Structure 1
Amino acid sequence: MVKVGYLGPAGTYSHQAAQQEFSGAELIPQKSIGACFESMHKAEVDYAVVPFENSTNGQVVFTYDLLRDWFMKCGDSTPTPKFKVVGECFVSIHHSLIGFQPDLSKITKVYSHPQVWGQCSSFLEGLNVERIDTSSTSRAVELVAQSPLVEQNEIAAIGSSAASKLHSVPVVVPSVEDNTSNTTRFLVLGTKDEISQTSIDVRDRITLLSFVLKHFNDMGSLSHVLDVFARHKVNLVSITTRPAKLLKWQYVFFLECVTGGDASQLDPVYSELGEFTEELRIMGWFPRSVDYAGK
């Protein structure tokens, strides 16, 4: 049976993503996003599902930093990964305020994953509460369920309706997200070329790559890179940066571009990029999901 790692415990949105993409597989919860990467490298699982970006709150920086640390040497001793990005999936995210106290004015603390705060900012502005980070949304609900009775009337969590049912903690306010179209994109890590999905667009594929600029303080250093893609008529769909951990103010650039079914069409691009970049890494080449919100 196929084994799939995900950010646990059960009831997280990562769990929902894993269930969505791997029906019938053995789903194995991991304590952190970093543990998902470790379990892949150690071949403890066949695939791992990790959150990558949210349509409301932007990039999941934990995942970007792990991609940097695993795929780019950047002066450290991280082993060469035995996996790559082999797929993507999208999950609609609908948050609920979950707890035992129906009177919002009596709630003093709210638990949730740090990525959630920016997705529910309008709702949270109306509450005078302390926000407490947890490792996952399901763990937040679990903490409320396990708290002493004397505390349960003062605390709540923000998480999914699935977590509410799993931990037997009622929903106080449903749909507290700022945007009803709130969606999280997940990447699938694996060792094979791609996963067997029915929800893919066979026409489009995504290439995820990263690099650092050779002369990052020189005028036009980034524009030279972008010009390479433009000359070869390659459509860039995202660009993100994270600190490179080498020199101050030096950054790793993450780019995603859309290509057809022939990976070799990017070979001339890679060849020219060598003049302007270092640590060029191809992290994955995988089919675009038909659930992509931009289609």
Structure 2
Amino acid sequence: MKIGYLGPEASFTHHAVKGAFSDEEHVPYTTIPDCLEGLITAQIDRAVVPLENALEGSVPITVDYLYHDADVHITAELVSPIQQHLMVHPENESRWEDVGRILSHSHAIAQCHKYLYYRFRGRALETSTSTAAAAKYVSEHPEENSAAIGNSLAAHTYGLKIVEHNIHDYHFNHTRFVVLSRNPILDELRLESEAEKTTLMVTLPSDDRPGNLHQVLSAFSWRQLNLSKIESRPLKTGLGNYFFIIDVEQSFEGVLIKGAIDELEALGCTVKVLGSYKKYSIVQK
């Protein structure tokens, strides 16, 4: 089985893939849309992409692509701790405090905002497609004396020297990665499962009646279905038009959740079941 992921090699997504699919073939993609298109066109059997970070919130491009462009299904959730380190080329280890610019993914830069502000105020901060891509660039351009922010796997893979460990501003930082498939199946992984979840994408009725969202939430509330997340995203049809992504802490096989969906559809909502799946934790090594 081929597992596609947001690369390059040694990205945080790759770390999650190695923890969950150690015996499968791993295929890196440069961007999230590239990875999802690889799944849609059957180049790969599963796609693993980031969905949400504890500090920075949802990854908009993943959520929007799943709603607007990709008819795929969540088959598992992987939760991994995120530890950010500052790394440089070994040739520049002795002058790392004089780096001219620092490269990383935009989320990683945001997660290290305080550290960067107080230690490297005024230095250029440059975004890359992933933390691993930043590490790869630094490894290939020692003459620039630049630094990357990323994980220890990236430092090891690309031969960089970690000069400052754990530079993230908040130390309880995790990312949710979703395993996606073309078919609505359940991936049973060789990891300890923590919970079962169902993710829905809900569009409100077009008549925009007062209390529409309240009625949606009530369909879950009176059935005592716990919602761990509800978030709005633009429908891209005009200002004020949204869809909602909702995580329900229950398997789709439960009678109550099916009843809630029937009620939402009776109210005129459009409901897409993105997946019913298990949550797994990945251990940082």
- Establish whether residue 123 from structure 1 lines up as the match of residue 112 from structure 2: no
The percentage of aligned residue pairs carrying the same residue is 27
Residue identity in the other structure for 1:40: L
Q: Which residue matches 2:35?
A: 36
- Establish whether residue 49 from structure 1 lines up as the match of residue 48 from structure 2: yes
Describe the shift of the 1:68–1:26 C-alpha distance in structure 2 as closer, same or farther (beyond 3 A).
same
Q: How many equivalent pairs are there?
A: 277
Q: Which residue matches 1:74?
A: none
Deviations 1:192-246 (A, max 9, x none): 51112133438x4211011221147543221111011112221111011111111
Specify which of 60, 75, 87 is matched with residue 86 of structure 1: 75
Check whether the contact 1:110–1:157 (CA below 8 A) recurs between aligned residues: yes
Q: Distance in 1 between matches of 2:104 and 2:196?
A: 34
- Establish whether residue 268 from structure 1 lines up as the match of residue 259 from structure 2: yes
TM-score normalized by the length of structure 2? 0.90
Deviations 1:24-76 (A, max 9, x none): 100011111111211111111111111111112211112111112235xxxxx
- Establish whether residue 95 from structure 1 lines up as the match of residue 84 from structure 2: yes
Specify which of 126, 129, 132 is matched with residue 132 of structure 1: 126
Describe the shift of the 1:50–1:290 C-alpha distance in structure 2 as closer, same or farther (beyond 3 A).
closer
Q: Distance in 1 between matches of 2:54 and 2:196?
A: 20
Check whether the contact 1:85–1:187 (CA below 8 A) recurs between aligned residues: yes
Q: Distance in 2 between matches of 1:192 and 1:219?
A: 34
Q: Spell out the pairing of 1:11-22 with structure 2 (5 A cutoff).
A: 11-22=10-21
Residue identity in the other structure for 2:135: V
Q: Greater CA deviation, 262-271 or 86-95?
A: 262-271
> Which secondary structure does the structure 1 equivalent of 2:259 belong to?
helix
Q: Which residue matches 1:210?
A: 201
> Which secondary structure does the structure 1 equivalent of 2:42 belong to?
coil
Q: Distance in 2 between matches of 1:166 and 1:17?
A: 15
Describe the shift of the 1:290–1:90 C-alpha distance in structure 2 as closer, same or farther (beyond 3 A).
closer
> Post-superposition shift, 1:117?
2.0
- Establish whether residue 143 from structure 1 lines up as the match of residue 132 from structure 2: no
Check whether the contact 1:215–1:221 (CA below 8 A) recurs between aligned residues: no
Greater than 6 Å deviation, 4+ residue runs: none
Specify which of 219, 237, 244 is matched with residue 228 of structure 1: 219
The root-mean-square deviation of aligned C-alpha atoms, in Å, is 2.1
Residue identity in the other structure for 2:114: S
Q: Distance in 2 between matches of 1:233 and 1:212?
A: 22
Q: Which residue matches 2:280?
A: 289
Describe the shift of the 1:276–1:104 C-alpha distance in structure 2 as closer, same or farther (beyond 3 A).
farther
